[in-house]
């Protein structure tokens, strides 16, 4: 009982903090409309609710009690990829992307399903259980070994091509790994759910590369999800609880850096955690994308780069949460080009959003697909062997779309080109 | 409710998904860039001219207001539904129908974003000069309705100078086609000119035929800092006196520079009180000559520092500074009265001195920038809405400014339109006779007064 009361108190203090923060930002918005110019979804939805300015007006009206919960209000917030172009465009330094992600906690009332999912994501056992269920469901499906096509009669995600889910093999279940560089940093490596349960090649490459430069790599097996999905579903309390566990673990281990391989986990850690609670600031400052850490120590990578035995053509997609969320954009490109066998070619629109957006991918499939089709067109035009990108969510969406088009380009993480 | 009946009828007549009465849409179509908010009864998203005429016919039948809206980026409240009714958005009428390279014309639907038209015609070596600061997100329909200006107006003129023909729906639901595709045409009254700048109070523009120019071969961008406002204003006169008419000639005062610095991190000389930003375009040889004449004029007014942008990226950086000014004034105070007064060029020094006088007389914060080359200066009175006393002082300052501008032989609105923001001052410039004749024109187009009511004319004189 006491635990529940604490949780309720926790939830309401998170909400009131979010409210304060949002109100401050709302005061800065002069509704000039500049955010209309680069919005990912506006050209498809063609209505003001799809703009940052419109959504801020909705939050404002909601806080003032002028409007109430509704399905449309919820959709207005869910039909956003949180790409952050509005934040980049705003001349007044409003951060609509940040405001809109935390505002979901105000305007979306999580239903029983969302609460349930959030609960599963909040505990390691829940994550394992979810992964196991997904694995069993996907095992029934033929297609390739690594990618599965969900039958079209399944609601929401039917017709999508998704990665096969696997429990991490024994070699990835250690709690710590020793690095080869005794003077190197001690790090906590947070693989994130996708890499933990599907993209094990990324996990292996990351451990290999980190071993070259680190003294110790901690991979605690008891951490929950980063909290972004819970926040997207409007459950800020759950997101805060997940953040507390992760940040406490990292601080207790007293590591030099918390390394992520997923831009979305990374931007949640670096940018959103301090918005949820200033107490997470200390943790947030330790967070690094793996490409940042590797480029810092690039001299240790030299000569060790993976040998492909042939020239490979590579393009790079800037994931929104990595580029605009974390502010990381030059390091991954540098990392890719460290491999002398890589022939690097820039996409026409390398930082255009792919349309994944988490809830968007699940609940608004046709919108997400419409957006990714522009990305696919750009990739097909350049036709690289590999598309490198730093967020497994985008990877799943883009690879799925490429496969369904019959394209041979394969999506990988930049670190897989090196280690 | 009569509005409910009209909405129900429209729901029957229009294809599904064209009309919404949900509060999510009513809230998000309640404002423009002025910060005024009024909720409409419904928002309509027509996709064709036929649908527009149906909407207008029903609105006419039930006598409910119709408020045309482009991107909602106007600065005079033109698209704010002050008397509720139907906000009719052009966001789904976004086709560029034709770009005629022989006749130098573009035919567009009203919802086309101005910057997209720029890119489309420039890809073919053509040029659509009007360039309001919001060009990346404002629409052609809105530009025409407000007769938008822009930075290049000094040399190229304003939106009105580029509208050859219009198709528009009248409130009773009939469609009218005005104007010609040819350079010349004098058949009857010039209805195109009446429609341009009518702020959605006469009819609903459904298609525009726009004049294009050949794209200038090259351009130069020059920035010059001055130690006083007056020397900057004199430098403007000096350039014109040398028989040079640059494409743009922008004035930015110290307060604005400080805001830009805050917003972008750009650095400016310590003692700069004003910045002139000048651009000229044309054939390379011509541009070189005008550049040297411009620099000579700047130097002879003792510019502190003259800087020519070496390449397109450097020029873009300077222009970015110009574009962020308007919204970044929020660094000084949360709210602003953004005026767009315009005076004859030679009266600029007097205007600038008068503005300083008004600011100190009424004890209000003020920042000015704008199109010095055409005498159009954006005087911004900055305030906090929550401070009633300050709000009152700002209102008095605005009125004083309007009076000064008219005395100087200028106009109270160069490019934003009257809308809600300046309707109380329109009489200062055109007097009761002017208002009366405009109302007669309004009556001829819109006998029931359903088109964008509550705009342009002051409340006290409206029946």
Question: What is the tens place of the pLDDT at every residue in A240-261?
Answer: 999 999 999 999 999 999 999 9
Q: Write out the two tokens for A245.
A: 């566990």
Residues B316, B392, single domain; the answer is yes
A278 within domain boundaries: no
Q: In this predicted structure, what is the pLDDT of residue B462? A: 40
* Parent domain of B172: 96-214
Measured between beta carbons, the chain B residues lying within 8 angstroms of A45 are none
Q: In this predicted structure, what is the pLDDT of residue A146? A: 84
Residue B71: which of B141, B4, B119 has the closest Cα?
B141
Altogether, the residues listed in chain B come to a count of: 463
Q: In this predicted structure, what is the pLDDT of residue A154? A: 86
The DSSP bridge pattern shows strands A257-260 and A287-289 to be parallel
B246 within domain boundaries: yes
Predicted confidence band of residue A158 (pLDDT cuts 50, 70, 90): confident
pLDDT at A2 over 50: no
Mean pLDDT along residues A124-133: 92
B155 within domain boundaries: yes
Domain ends where: A57, A75, A107? A107
Q: In this predicted structure, what is the pLDDT of residue A144? A: 65
Q: What is the mean pLDDT of chain B?
A: 94
Which positions of chain B have pLDDT values less than 70? Answer: 460-463
Interface of B with A in 12-31 (CB under 8 A): 22-25, 27-31
Distance CA B427, CA A253 (A): 73
Nearest chain A CA: its distance from B243 CA (Å): 36
Phi then psi for B367, rounded to 5 degrees?
A: -135, 135
| CATH code of A361's domain | 3.40.50
Q: In this predicted structure, what is the pLDDT of residue B463? A: 35
Report the 10 Å Cβ neighbour count for B426. Answer: 20
Residues B210, B222, single domain; the answer is no
Q: Which of A23, A38, A44, A47 to mutate to test the interface with B (most CBs of B within 10 A)?
A: A47
- C-alpha A245 chain-centroid distance: 19
| CATH code of B199's domain | 3.30.465.10
Instruction: State the angle between helix axes of A236-253 and A112-121 in degrees (0 to 180), rounded to the nearest 10.
Output: 10
Residue B425: which of B385, B397, B386, B453 has the closest Cα?
B397
Q: Which of A26, A43, A91 to mutate to test the interface with B (most CBs of B within 10 A)?
A: A91
* Parent domain of A399: 305-418
Q: Write out the two tokens for B58.
A: 């029903």
Domain ends where: A79, A107, A135? A107
Task: From residue A15, give the alpha-carbon distance in Å to each of A63, A246, A275.
Answer: 12, 20, 11
The DSSP bridge pattern shows strands A312-317 and B218-226 to be unpaired
Residues B268, B282, single domain; the answer is yes
Residue A396: which of A375, A378, A418, A377 has the closest Cα?
A375
Bridge partner list, B306 = B224
pLDDT at A33 over 60: yes
A247 within domain boundaries: no
Q: What is the mean pLDDT of chain A?
A: 94
Q: In this predicted structure, what is the pLDDT of residue B460? A: 65
Segment A51-85, tens digit of pLDDT: 999 999 999 999 999 999 999 999 999 999 999 99
Domain ends where: A58, A84, A107? A107
Tally of structural domains, chain A: 2
How many A×B Cβ pairs under 8 Å? 89
Q: Which of B17, B20, B28, B74 to mutate to test the interface with A (most CBs of A within 10 A)?
A: B28
pLDDT at A3 over 80: no
CB–CB contact B28 A37 (8 Å): no
Cβ partners under 8 Å of residue B389, min gap 6: none
Interface of B with A in 112-141 (CB under 8 A): 115, 134, 136-138
Q: Write out the two tokens for A251.
A: 């601080």
Mean pLDDT along residues A83-94: 92
| CATH code of A35's domain | 1.10.1060.10
ipTM of the predicted structure? Answer: 0.93
Residues B24, B146, single domain; the answer is no
Q: In this predicted structure, what is the pLDDT of residue B303? A: 94
A158-167, A183-192, A375-384, A409-418: least confident range: A158-167
Distance CA A93, CA A227 (A): 25
User: Order of strands across the sheet with B105-108?
Assistant: B96-100, B105-108, B204-211, B163-169, B175-179
Q: In this predicted structure, what is the pLDDT of residue A27? A: 87
Tell which phi-psi region holds residue B370, choosing left (phi > 0), alpha (psi between -120 and 50) or beta. left
Q: In this predicted structure, what is the pLDDT of residue A7? A: 60
B357 within domain boundaries: yes
Residues B238, B317, single domain; the answer is yes
Task: From residue B369, give the alpha-carbon distance in Å to each of A324, B329, B340.
Answer: 31, 11, 10
Residues B143, B184, single domain; the answer is yes
Bridge partner list, A186 = A216
Residue B455: which of B27, B36, B4 has the closest Cα?
B36
| CATH code of B52's domain | 3.30.43.10
Tally of structural domains, chain B: 3
The DSSP bridge pattern shows strands A386-389 and A312-317 to be parallel
| CATH code of B297's domain | 3.40.462.10
Nearest chain B CA: its distance from A62 CA (Å): 10
Residues B246, B380, single domain; the answer is yes
B414 within domain boundaries: no
For the stretch B89-107, what's the b/e string if a residue is b when 16 or more beta carbons lie within 10 angstroms of its beta carbon?
bbbbbbeeeebeeeebbbb
B433 within domain boundaries: no
Task: From residue B14, give the alpha-carbon distance in Å to each of A40, B58, B200, B433.
Answer: 28, 11, 22, 42
Cβ partners under 8 Å of residue A199, min gap 6: A163, A392, A395, A413
């Amino acid at each position: 009982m006491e635990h529940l009361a604490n949780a309720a108190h926790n939830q309401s203090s998170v909400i009131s903090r979010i409210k304060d923060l949002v109100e401050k930002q709302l005061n800065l918005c002069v509704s000039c409309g500049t955010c209309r110019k680069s919005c990912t979804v506006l050209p498809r939805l063609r209505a003001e609710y799809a703009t940052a300015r419109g959504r801020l007006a909705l939050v404002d009206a909601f806080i003032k009690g002028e409007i109430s919960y509704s399905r449309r209000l919820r959709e207005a917030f869910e039909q956003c990829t949180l790409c952050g172009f509005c934040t980049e465009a705003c001349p007044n330094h409003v951060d609509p992307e940040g405001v809109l992600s935390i505002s979901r906690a105000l305007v979306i009332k999580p239903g029983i399903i969302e609460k349930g999912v959030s609960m599963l994501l909040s505990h390691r056992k829940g994550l394992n259980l979810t992964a196991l269920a997904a694995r069993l469901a996907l095992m029934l499906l033929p297609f390739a070994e690594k990618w599965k096509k969900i039958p079209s009669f399944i609601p929401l995600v039917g017709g999508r091509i998704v990665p096969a889910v696997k429990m991490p093999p024994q070699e990835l279940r250690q709690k710590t790994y020793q690095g080869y560089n005794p003077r190197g940093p001690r790090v906590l490596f947070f693989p994130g759910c996708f890499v933990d349960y599907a993209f094990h090649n990324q996990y292996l490459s990351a451990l290999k590369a980190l071993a070259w430069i680190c003294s110790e790599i901690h991979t605690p097996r008891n951490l929950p999800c980063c909290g972004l999905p819970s926040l997207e579903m409007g459950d800020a309390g759950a997101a805060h609880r997940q953040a507390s566990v992760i940040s406490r673990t990292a601080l207790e281990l007293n590591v030099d850096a918390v390394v992520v391989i997923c831009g979305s986990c990374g931007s949640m850690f670096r940018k959103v955690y301090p918005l949820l609670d200033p107490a997470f600031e200390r943790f947030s400052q330790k967070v690094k994308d793996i490409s940042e850490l590797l480029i810092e120590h690039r001299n240790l990578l030299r000569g060790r780069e993976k040998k492909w035995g042939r020239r490979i053509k590579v393009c790079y997609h800037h994931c929104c949460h990595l580029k605009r969320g974390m502010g990381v954009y030059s390091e991954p490109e540098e990392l890719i080009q460290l491999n002398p066998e890589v022939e690097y070619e820039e996409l026409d629109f390398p930082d255009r959003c792919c349309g994944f957006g988490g809830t968007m991918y699940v609940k608004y499939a046709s919108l997400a697909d419409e957006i990714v089709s522009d990305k696919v067109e750009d990739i097909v035009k350049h036709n690289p062997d590999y598309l490198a990108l730093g967020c497994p969510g985008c990877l799943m969406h883009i690879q799925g779309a490429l496969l369904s088009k019959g394209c041979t380009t394969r999506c990988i993480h930049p670190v897989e080109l090196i280690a | 409710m009569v509005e409910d009946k009209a909405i129900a009828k429209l729901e029957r007549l229009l294809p599904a998904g064209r009309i919404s009465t949900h509060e999510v849409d009513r809230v998000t179509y309640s404002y423009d860039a002025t910060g005024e908010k009024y909720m409409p009864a419904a928002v309509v998203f027509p996709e064709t001219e036929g649908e527009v005429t149906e909407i207008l016919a029903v609105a006419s039948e039930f006598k409910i207001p119709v408020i045309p809206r482009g991107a909602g980026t106007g600065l005079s409240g033109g698209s704010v539904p002050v008397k509720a009714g139907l906000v009719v958005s052009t966001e789904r009428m976004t086709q560029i129908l034709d770009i005629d390279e022989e006749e130098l014309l573009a035919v567009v639907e009203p919802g086309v974003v101005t910057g997209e038209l720029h890119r489309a015609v420039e890809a073919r070596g053509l040029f659509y000069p009007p360039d309001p600061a919001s060009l990346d997100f404002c629409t052609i329909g809105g530009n025409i309705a407000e007769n938008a200006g822009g930075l290049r107006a000094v040399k190229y003129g304003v939106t009105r100078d580029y509208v050859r023909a219009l198709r528009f729906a009248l409130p009773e639901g009939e469609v009218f086609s005005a104007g010609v595709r040819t350079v010349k045409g004098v058949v009857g009254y010039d209805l195109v000119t009446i429609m341009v700048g009518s702020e959605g109070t006469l009819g609903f523009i459904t298609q525009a035929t726009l004049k294009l120019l050949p794209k200038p071969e090259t351009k130069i961008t020059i920035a010059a800092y001055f130690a006083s406002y007056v020397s900057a204003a004199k430098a403007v006169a000096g350039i014109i006196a040398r028989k040079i008419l640059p494409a743009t000639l922008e004035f930015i005062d110290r307060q604005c520079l400080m805001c830009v610095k805050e917003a972008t991190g750009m650095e400016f000389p310590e003692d700069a009180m004003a910045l002139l930003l000048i651009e000229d375009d044309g054939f390379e040889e011509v541009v070189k000559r005008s550049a040297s004449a411009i620099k000579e004029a700047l130097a002879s007014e003792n510019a502190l520092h003259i800087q020519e942008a070496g390449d397109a990226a450097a020029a873009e950086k300077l222009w970015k500074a110009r574009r962020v000014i308007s919204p970044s004034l929020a660094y000084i105070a949360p709210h602003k009265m953004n005026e767009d007064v315009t005076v004859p060029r030679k009266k600029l020094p007097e205007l600038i001195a008068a503005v300083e006088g008004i600011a100190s007389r009424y004890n209000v914060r003020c920042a000015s920038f704008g199109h010095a080359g055409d005498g159009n200066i954006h005087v911004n009175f900055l305030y906090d809405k929550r401070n009633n006393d300050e709000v009152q002082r700002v209102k008095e300052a605005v009125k004083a400014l309007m009076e000064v501008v008219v005395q100087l032989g200028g106009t109270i609105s160069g490019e934003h339109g009257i809308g809600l923001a300046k309707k109380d001052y329109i009489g200062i410039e055109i007097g009761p006779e002017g208002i009366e004749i405009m109302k007669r024109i309004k009556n001829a187009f819109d006998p029931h007064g359903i088109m964008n009511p509550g705009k342009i004319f002051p409340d006290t004189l409206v029946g």
